[in-house]
Chain A
Amino acid sequence: MASLNVLVAVSLAYVFLLFCVAFAAERAGVQGRAGWLLRSPLVYTLSLSIYCTAWTFYGAVGYAARSGLEYVTIYLGPSLVIVGWWWILRRLVRIGRSYKVTSIADLISSRYGKSNGLAIVVTVMAVIGVTPYIALQLQSVTASLSIFIAAQHGSLAESGDAHAAGLWISVGLALFTVLFGTRNLNVNERQHGVVIAVAVEAVVKLIALLAVGVFVVWGIAGGVSETLARIDASSLGTWQMNGSRWAALTFVSAAAFLCLPRMFQVMIVENDDERYLQIASWAFPLYLMLMSLFVVPIAVIGLDLLPAGSNPDFFVLSLPLSQGQEGLAMLSFLGGFSSATSMVIVATLALSTMVSNHVVMPIFLYLRQGGATQSGDVRNVVILSRRLSVLAIIGFGYIYYRASGGSGALAAIGLISFAGVAQFLPAMLGGIFWRGATRAGAFVGLGVGFSVWVFTMLLPSFGPGAALSVDTFANGLFGLGWLRPQALFGIPGLDPTVHAIFWSLLLNGVSFVLVSLMTFPQPLERLQGAQFVNVFDHSGQTRGWQASVAESEDLMIMAQRILGAREAQRLFQAEAQRQGRGDYLPEPTADFLQRLERELASSVGGATAHAMISQIVGGSAVSVQDLLAVADESAQMLEYSSQLEAKSRELSQTAAKLRHANAKLMQLSDQKDAFLSQISHELRTPMTSIRAFSEILRDTDGLGPLEKTKYANIIHVEAIRLTRLLDDLLDLSVLENGQVTLNQQSGSLVDVLDQAVATAEASEARSIAIKRRRLEETVTLHTDLDRLSQVFINLITNAQKYCGSDTPELQIVVQRAGDSILVDFIDNGSGIPVASREVMFEKFSRIGAEDAAGAGLGLAICREIMTRLGGNVNYLDGTGGTAFRVTVPGRQALAAQ
């Protein structure tokens, strides 16, 4: 019988071997050798097998012994994900590689606007969710050790020994993790030592389990058919399937496969090539199948052979031992040991990265207000904080293990942990598939899901009366019946596990979606959201940092402190070469800054890297180009908004047209009112005189003949004025409506002017000396001569009436201008003020008040007539007096009309 010492020796030798392998791999990686092995899909697939922890190695058999085939769900979930949902994985891997994501906390925080608050929440949740799991690994190793001791001494080891063993194992694991897991600051650079060690351990645990299985089937049972017969005979053979439990467990293990920090580490962060996923998609399920192949036979034979009361969780170990197969038992022990250690190493690595990047570093940077350029070598701080985090996390695990006293079945603890990390699922998947997901939604969803998980699963797991009082179990929190931890909302009858998974994820998802719908994302969130969701279209999208050259040096200093001097110089030099700047510092282009941010992100996480760059570069985190990029990314959105724009443009155009039309109508209405008012005035004024004097003549007795004559004369004059006014109005109306019929005839200008002058002189107006040069007037016209004469008469009488000179004089000048004939009427009066020169051609406009008889229609009529005749009448400036120019069109102009 092998002694315990042999076992310890073998274990130490195994550990030494692992150290050597890890060391060799690390060396090979640095020297660039053995790339075919270090970067192969095989190693990638094997590293995925850290999914199979001691819980799976030992616990699956125990699970099968207790609950039959239900253990299959734990393998089914991940297989479904990697086979059927590889597109989720592919997207995650692409995002992880494009944005140098360091952990699941980094992914979620980056997606929701690089929110460090969110990263802290996820980190804390992950630590709380995973620490029991680490404790579980420690427990399984110490328990398996004590089974060996029991076999040797016939009694269980004293607990003190087990605890001591647990402590030493913890120390060893911490040492290994610190040595091989925190060598590189850049998490995205593969930790070759760790990965290879994990791969070796994956092989060891598979071989160990298969060996035990083969021994059980062929060594004990005596062949396949006998084994099947035994299975049939046992209670395990009966197919008992609880649908809701199966669904819930499959789902939660699928979710955990995506969300567990250690799985995220090996699957996303350490992924070298997306194509590995294709191979893993069949190789990993195959691995899981092999792992689960002999679970049922071992459970059945174990139940048969081992004394009642034996812990079925350790059948894998105790069965070979009971048969005296010590070598096999030792192999089996190494398998379990491998499962536990690989899980602890990777999980601790992942968690320590999260703790260090999202909790320690931000605090450190905050305390060193000066920022990354002024503090010391941040690189050492990061590594130190990561190492301390490793120690702290393994320390937590050990404390939890000691505190819990190794209680509870392995599988139960594992499930609690799974359900805890599964709370990340809505925020993560929502983040990479739904642009509408917001930070507030992620916060609330995570908070609600985690709270429900703690209340319905974590706290009750310590048993009634431990964390939650018996009263709470029976009557609910605060005595509220609907807050019973295993029957929320007063719905009893659900299996506690299903109950907790169902409610926590349902409330998580619902609150995440609702709050996301209710809140509006910040610009940076929108941008990140768009880039994550559309990662396949926009992996190379630039993010608009803007910096001046002066900041290059600061950036360089900062980069050196985080990436290390050599790496930073290499990066900056390469960029300078690319920009053609020789040995000088490169220009901090948006492109370069983005690359730098990603490099930094791979060391300290996205949120911190972003904060550091913005400390130096300053300025807004989101530029206009960024926002445009967001807009660009969604063609649908763009189209929609352009449609809206077009619609709104159309609407405003229509509105403008309507406003214009309305203004025009208002103007017309005002004009009409003014016109009617004017006409009323012009008609009523002479009528007033006529009425008043006719009444005076009628009613007044004793009027002298002189007065009678005078008053009758007034009536007569006013009646004539009224008539003339009506004539003018009618004339104007006819002209304006274009109903006038022109009486075209040929004649000489001299004759027309003679006639006009004669008519004007015959009127009662003041006489005026008229000067003409008849020779120039001998021009033949073809037009409506009567209308033209009317215009001339009007202009001459105006001069008679309004020329203010003491010796009034009117000059009539005729000249040719091309085809047209210009007739100017120039008097020696005082001229027309500039403001009135155009207005006076309007109806009812009068320059002075002196002319009581005129209605202000004369010039309006003149202009209308000349327009009809194809010519024009204008005020003529610069003559010293008042002057009008009549432009009469020549023959051709007329013919053309």
Chain B
Amino acid sequence: MGKHVLLVEDELNIIEAIRFLLSREGWDVDTHSNGTDAAEVIRDRKPDLVVLDVMLPGKSGFDILEELRGDAQTADLPVLMLTARGQSRDREMAEKAGVSRFMTKPFSNTEVLTAVRDLLYVHGQRT
């Protein structure tokens, strides 16, 4: 398939796990661990999908998402958001910021894969 995903996450073991899962599905997995310049990196690398953690060093995932949605280039970019805080308010904030899909850690591997597939499919349909 050769699809390009950018994983923004600061926890090494989680990066490892997701990279393993998505690579096996044929994704080209790229990672980034800092929040401060995440939006910039996303614009540069032009992934087809972003998996975004909420609690990142330097900048929160919500702020990054808002920044992405405010930019025409990335406004429609599918974003799967992961959070370990698991409070309902976080989901509301994420939806308000324009998230494509929101998942709470710990996740089930199949759920992540399904979500990624769905997002790409819907996005493909739209574009």
Contacts and interface: CB of A to CB of B under 8 A. Distances in A.
Contact of A696 (B11, B87, B109): B109
B55 interface: yes
B121 interface: no
B86 A689 contact: no
A696 B86 contact: no
B87 A688 contact: no
B16 interface: yes
Contacts of B106: 684, 687-688, 690-692
Interface in B83-127: 84-87, 104-110
Contacts of B18: 692
Interface of A: 673, 676-677, 680-681, 684-685, 687-693, 695-696, 699-700, 714, 717-718, 848-849, 852
Contacts of A852: 10-13
B14 A681 contact: no
A699 B109 contact: yes
11 contacts: A676-B87, A677-B87, A681-B85, A685-B84, A688-B107, A692-B17, A692-B107, A693-B13, A699-B110, A714-B16, A849-B57
B14 A689 contact: yes
Given A680-B86, A700-B24, 6 more contacts: A681-B85, A688-B105, A693-B13, A696-B17, A849-B34, A849-B57
The list of the 5 closest CB pairs from A to B, nearest first, reads A692-B17, A684-B84, A849-B57, A689-B13, A688-B106
B85 to A, nearest CB: 5
Contacts of B84: 680-681, 684-685, 688
Contacts of A692: 14, 17-18, 21, 106-107, 109
Contacts of B24: 700
Contacts of B85: 677, 680-681, 684
A695 B16 contact: no
A345 to B, nearest CB: 96
A701 to B, nearest CB: 11
Contacts of B107: 688, 691-692
A690 B13 CA distance: 9
B77 to A, nearest CB: 24
B78 to A, nearest CB: 21
A169 B9 CA distance: 121
A718 B16 CA distance: 13
B11 A684 contact: no
Contacts of A849: 10, 33-34, 57
A692 to B, nearest CB: 4
B109 A695 contact: yes
Contacts of A684: 84-86, 104-106
Interface in B56-96: 57, 84-87
Interface centre among A689, A693, A699 (most CB of B within 10 A): A689
B60 to A, nearest CB: 12
Interface string B7-49: 0001111101110110010000000011000000000000000
B73 to A, nearest CB: 28
B13 A696 contact: no
Contacts, number: 71
Contacts of B20: 696
Contacts of A687: 105-106
Nearest to B35: A849
Residues of A contacting B: mostly: helix
Contacts of A690: 106
A834 B21 CA distance: 42
Interface centre among A677, A688, A699, A700 (most CB of B within 10 A): A688
Interface centre among B13, B34, B109 (most CB of A within 10 A): B13
A689 B21 CA distance: 12
Contacts of A693: 13, 17
B64 to A, nearest CB: 15
A717 B14 CA distance: 13
A232 to B, nearest CB: 110
B16 to A, nearest CB: 7
A177 B24 CA distance: 129
Contacts of B33: 849
Contacts of B17: 688-689, 692-693, 696
Given A677-B85, A681-B55, A696-B21, A688 B14 contact: yes
Contacts of A717: 13
Contacts of B10: 849, 852
B108 A691 contact: yes
A676 B12 CA distance: 23
Contacts of B108: 691, 695
Contacts of A699: 109-110
A700 to B, nearest CB: 7
B52 to A, nearest CB: 15
A676 B11 CA distance: 20
B21 A685 contact: no
B71 to A, nearest CB: 25
B59 to A, nearest CB: 12
A685 B86 CA distance: 11
Contacts of B110: 695, 699
Nearest to A678: B85
A700 B18 CA distance: 13
Contacts of A689: 11, 13-14, 16-17
A852 B53 CA distance: 15
Contacts of B104: 684
A672 to B, nearest CB: 12
Nearest to B34: A849
Nearest to B53: A685
Nearest to B12: A852
A673 B88 CA distance: 12
A685 B55 CA distance: 11
A669 to B, nearest CB: 13
Contacts of A673: 87
A689 B55 CA distance: 16
A848 B34 CA distance: 11
Given A680-B84, A680-B86, A692-B21, A685 B14 contact: yes
B81 to A, nearest CB: 14
B108 to A, nearest CB: 7
A158 B20 CA distance: 143
Nearest to A699: B109
B19 to A, nearest CB: 11
A689 B86 CA distance: 16
Contacts of B14: 685, 688-689, 692
A681 B11 CA distance: 12
A673 B10 CA distance: 23
Interface centre among B14, B33, B55, B104 (most CB of A within 10 A): B14
A694 to B, nearest CB: 10
B96 to A, nearest CB: 18
A676 B86 CA distance: 10
Contacts of B11: 685, 688-689, 852
Contacts of A677: 85, 87
Contacts of B12: 852
A693 B106 CA distance: 11
Contacts of B13: 689, 693, 714, 717-718, 852
B91 to A, nearest CB: 13
Contacts of B86: 680, 684
A718 B11 CA distance: 11
Interface centre among B18, B24, B109 (most CB of A within 10 A): B109
Nearest to B90: A677
A26 to B, nearest CB: 101
B84 to A, nearest CB: 4
Contacts of B34: 849
Nearest to A690: B106
A692 B21 CA distance: 9
A306 B127 CA distance: 133
Contacts of A676: 87
B117 to A, nearest CB: 16
A696 B12 CA distance: 16
A422 to B, nearest CB: 81
A695 B109 CA distance: 7
